[in-house]
Structure 1
Amino acid sequence: MKVRILGCSGGIGGCHLRTTSMLVDDDILVDAGTGVADLSRAQLARIDHVFLTHSHLDHIASLPLLIDSVSDLREKPLRVYATAATLAIIAKHIFNWAIWPDFSVIPSRENAVMQYQTIDLGRSVRLGERTITALPAEHTVPAVGYQLDSGSGCLVFTGDTTVNDSFWPVVNRIANLRYLLIETAFANREQRLAEISKHLCPSMLADELHKLTIKPEIYISHLKPGQAELTMAEIQACASDFRPTRLQNNQIFEF
């Protein structure tokens, strides 16, 4: 399994700042933030599956344009996987004809170019030799993280989340976990904002990482533009034992 980071920033502001999205092999997206726009039309047309962590704009911004841009190149529907709550939100607020056409009924409901696929927490989707499982997340809207399993190794992405005691027992049972991608959106000076918006700051991250009983490589995502260097410095100060590294655009994980 090959995972390429298309975007991992908490905002935009230059070619190095793209919001959350990961390309798995050449046919799966995990989230569909602004980083998807850097793919060519041919690359976009090869994507058959999109797994959404939640409905916030920085994680879905490219999805409507992706479907519109390549619908004439596709011979089968693009499948969008998310919890029932997340699918209901994007159906009501995005694919509603007022914001964007409802591609789940174009050209007809039976032959739609986009199909919704409900996933349940803890339930796995098998795509060839790859298994994708929804993990618990705690955010201001219904949300999940994902475990990507190649059979020989795993990568876990927390999605947007805050303090989450239900997440760690699940992660600690993954014996072949190689990579943990975890968000930290705010610096410590904005801990109250992190708590209200259900994100993490470095001190909160350190407390969460101490719940780990295994030792994957740890990468930090969702850093806010303008605070990234400060936030990473604070992470190094309070969580250096875990050797966390800043996640980068176009970083590749193979496992």
Structure 2
Amino acid sequence: MRIRVLGCSGGIGGSLRTTALLVDDDVLIDAGTGVGDLPLEGLAKIDHIFVSHSHLDHVTSIPFLVDTVCWMRRTPIVVYAIAETLDILRSHLFNWKLWPDFTQIPDAEKPFMIYREIKVGETVEIDGRRITAIPANHTVPAVGYMLDSGKASLVYSGDTTVNDGLWKAVNEAKNLKYLVIETAFSNKEQDVATASKHLCPMTLASELAKMHGHPEVFITHLKPGEGALTMREIGVAAGRWRPRMLETGQEFSL
């Protein structure tokens, strides 16, 4: 299993792209602005999209992706998410007002896109790759994902604040190699982080203390303009785990 970071920023500007991870050539974990950097032939290979939650920075490329490649495909793109997230996408995105409903185009019998509901704790296996929805704690219903090749695994927290369910999943993973966890705000924005249900360096350190193993830790969702400050604060608060900043273009092998 190869995982390439297409985007990992908490915003846009210059080379910054919002969250999207490409698994091999055919699976997306979230679909932020980084998806748009793929060539057309790369976009056409994407068969599955696992959505952590409904916020725009994680779903913004789904409408453009489906609209761009639908005529190139013989099978629908499958969008996986928990029921609450799918309801939001149906009501507020693919609703014929903001964007066409591609689950009804060209018709309901042979659509360009279909939804698949998953539940927290459920594992979807695709060609031997296991993708499991794990708990997240955010301002909207949300999950993270564990990606498991059978040899090693990676946990992606999604957007979350203090979250004991995440650590239960992390600590039960016997082959965990990488942890990708958000820290959106610096310590001076702790009140904003708390209100918006994100982590800051102080809360990240408290959360990492719940982890039993020693995977490599990478920080995602840093806000533009505050990445250097936030990483310095993480180095002080969570230096024991030696977290590193996730970067667009970075690749992992499981």
**Shorter-chain TM-score tier:** over 0.9
Q: Which residue of 2 aligns with 1:3?
A: 3
1:123-162 pair list within 5 angstroms: 123-162=122-161
| Structure 1 SS opposite 2:28 | strand
Q: What is the match of residue 164 of structure 1? A: 163
- Which residue of 2 is the match for residue 217 of structure 1? 216
What is the deviation of 1:166? 1.7
Residue matched to 1:195: 194
TM-score by length of 1: 0.99
- Normalised TM-score (structure 2): 0.99
Question: For residue 231 of structure 2, what is the aligned residue in structure 1?
Answer: 232
Letter in 2 for 1:172: N
Q: 1:110 Cα shift? A: 1.1
Contact 2:182–2:198 (Cα < 8 Å) also in 1: yes
Give the residue type in structure 2 aligned to 1:65.
Answer: F
Supply the AA of the counterpart residue of 2:147. Answer: L
Return structure 1 stretches of 4+ with deviation > 6 angstroms: none
Give the root-mean-square deviation of aligned CA atoms: 0.4
- After superposition, give the CA deviation of every residue in 1:81-135 in whole Å (9 maximum; x if it has no partner): 0001000001100000110000011011111110000000001000011000000
**What are structure 2's unaligned runs of at least 5 residues?**
none
Alignment of 1:1-255 (within 5 A): 1-15=1-15, 17-255=16-254
Mapped to 1, the partners of 2:229 and 2:130 lie a distance apart of 36
Residue identity matched to 1:85:
E
- Aligned-pair identity in percent equals 57
Instruction: Find the aligned partners of 1:55 and 1:169 in 2 and give their Cα distance.
Output: 24
2:233 corresponds to which letter in structure 1? Answer: E
Alpha-carbon distance in structure 1 between the residues aligned to 2:147 and 2:194: 28
Give the 3-state SS of the residue equivalent to 2:132 in structure 1.
Answer: strand
CA offsets, 1:58-86, max 9 Å, x none? 00011100000000000000000000100
